[in-house]
C-alpha cells in the first residue's frame, strides 16, 4: 500500500507536465486528460521498479498514447511504433523541468499554433512538439515515433518548415480584421445564422476553458455549423477588443468582464475561437475595448 501511495504521489508530481505535453500534441484538453489518465492506467499495470527516472518514462508513455490517438484521428497508417511499454530514454537523467511553467507555456501558445499543428502528420507533430516545445533530444524521441534519430530530426525539421511557412493569423490590416470580428458579433447578436456561416472558416474550431464551460460553453466544437449554432442569437454584451495585442471579443456582465474570446483569422474568415473565463487568465490579460 505504501509503495502504491508513493507511486501515486510521483505521478501527481508529473501530472502538469504530462498534461502540457499531451495538450500540445492533441490540441484538446479533453483528449489530453484522457491520455494522462491512460498513462496512469499503464503505470499501474507496469513494474517500474528498475526505472531510474519515472518522469521521463511517463512522458514517453503519454507521447506514445498521443501518437496513437493522432493516428486514429487522422485515419493514417504509418510505420508502427514498437510493441510494449517504452524503454527509459537514454538521456532522461539530465532532463529537468518546472511542470507549472511548462503547462502555462503550453496554454500561452494559443489556438493559432494548434491550427497550424493540425496540418502536420502524427509523427511530425510528435517530433516537433517534443523537440521544439519541450527540448527533448532526438535520441529520446526516435523510439517514440519508431524512426532512427536522423529520420526523427528530419521529421521535426519538415514540421518546423511547415509551421514557419503557414500563416493562420491575419497580416497587418487591423481595420479589415476588426470588420470581420464586428460582423461576427453583429450576426451572432441578430441571430443571423447564414451570416455567421459565411464568416466562419470551413475548418473553424471552438474551445473553452473550464471556467467558460461552467458558464455554459461546450468544451470543443468543430465546423461552421456547430460553431454558428453555439453563437446564434447570443453576443448581447459582446464588444470587439484587443487582447494582448490581438483582436478578440470581450463579453461583459454587471460592469465586469465575464469572458473573452480569442479569435484567429484565416483570410477574411474566423478559423478559431477560444473562450477564456478563468479569473487568473483574465487578470493577467491586457484588454483594450474598442469604443
Residue 258: which CATH number? 3.10.450.50
98 secondary structure, DSSP code? -
Please say whether the beta carbons of 255 and 266 come within 8 A: no
Instruction: Name which residue leads in pLDDT, 65 or 169.
Output: 65
Question: Which of 133, 165, 197 is the endpoint of a domain?
Answer: 165
Determine the average pLDDT of the residues in 110-125.
72
Cell numbers found for residue 205: 474550431
Categorize the per-residue pLDDT at 228 as very low, low, confident or very high, splitting at 50, 70 and 90: very high
Residue 26: pLDDT band with limits 50, 70, 90: confident
* Calpha distance 39→64 (Å, rounded): 10
Average pLDDT over residues 78-101: 38
**Pair (136, 279) in one structural domain:** no
Compute the average pLDDT of residues 18-35: 86
Q: Which domain holds residue 254?
A: 174-289
Domain boundary among 135, 165, 195: 165
Q: pLDDT of 126-147, one tens digit each?
A: 998 888 888 888 989 999 988 8
Shared domain for 180 and 250, answered yes or no, is yes
Q: What is the CATH number of the domain that holds 144?
A: 1.20.140
Q: Residue 107: which pLDDT band, with cuts at 50, 70 and 90?
A: very low
Compute the distance between CA of residue 14 and CA of residue 187 in angstroms, rounded to an integer: 44
Does residue 262 register a pLDDT over 80? yes
What does the pLDDT look like over 233-257, one tens digit per residue? 887 788 888 876 677 899 887 778 8
Mean pLDDT check: name the lowest of 77-86, 108-117, 162-171.
77-86
Q: What angle do CA 111, 117, 118 make, to 5 degrees?
A: 95
**Whether residue 62 is found in the same domain as residue 105:** yes
Q: Are residues 179 and 121 in the same domain?
A: no
8 A C-beta contact, residue 31 and residue 71: no
Amino acid at each position: 500500500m505504501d509503495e502504491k501511495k508513493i507511486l501515486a504521489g510521483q505521478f501527481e508530481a508529473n501530472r502538469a507536465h504530462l498534461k502540457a505535453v499531451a495538450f500540445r500534441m492533441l490540441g484538446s484538453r479533453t483528449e489530453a486528460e484522457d491520455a494522462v489518465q491512460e498513462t496512469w492506467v499503464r503505470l499501474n499495470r507496469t513494474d517500474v521498479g528498475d526505472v531510474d527516472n519515472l518522469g521521463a518514462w511517463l512522458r514517453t508513455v503519454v507521447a506514445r498514447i498521443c501518437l496513437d490517438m493522432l493516428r486514429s484521428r487522422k485515419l493514417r497508417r504509418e510505420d508502427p511504433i514498437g510493441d510494449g511499454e517504452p524503454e527509459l530514454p537514454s538521456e532522461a537523467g539530465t532532463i529537468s523541468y518546472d511542470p507549472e511553467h511548462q503547462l502555462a507555456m503550453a496554454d500561452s501558445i494559443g489556438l493559432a499554433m494548434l491550427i497550424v499543428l493540425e496540418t502536420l502528420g502524427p509523427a511530425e507533430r510528435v517530433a516537433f512538439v517534443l523537440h521544439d516545445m519541450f527540448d527533448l533530444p532526438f535520441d529520446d524521441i526516435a523510439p517514440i515515433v519508431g524512426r532512427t534519430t536522423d529520420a526523427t530530426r528530419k521529421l521535426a525539421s519538415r514540421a518546423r518548415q511547415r509551421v514557419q511557412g503557414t500563416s493562420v493569423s491575419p497580416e497587418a490590416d487591423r481595420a479589415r480584421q476588426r470588420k470581420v470580428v464586428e460582423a461576427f458579433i453583429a450576426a451572432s447578436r441578430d441571430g443571423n445564422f447564414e451570416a455567421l456561416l459565411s464568416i466562419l472558416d470551413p475548418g473553424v474550431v471552438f474551445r473553452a476553458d473550464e471556467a467558460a464551460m461552467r458558464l455554459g460553453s461546450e468544451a470543443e466544437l468543430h465546423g461552421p455549423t456547430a460553431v454558428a449554432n453555439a453563437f446564434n442569437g447570443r453576443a448581447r454584451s459582446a464588444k470587439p477588443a484587443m487582447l494582448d495585442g490581438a483582436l478578440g471579443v470581450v463579453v461583459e456582465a454587471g460592469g465586469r468582464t465575464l469572458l473573452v474570446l480569442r479569435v484567429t483569422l484565416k483570410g477574411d474568415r474566423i478559423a478559431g475561437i477560444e473562450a477564456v473565463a478563468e479569473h487568473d487568465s483574465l487578470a493577467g490579460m491586457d484588454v483594450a475595448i474598442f469604443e
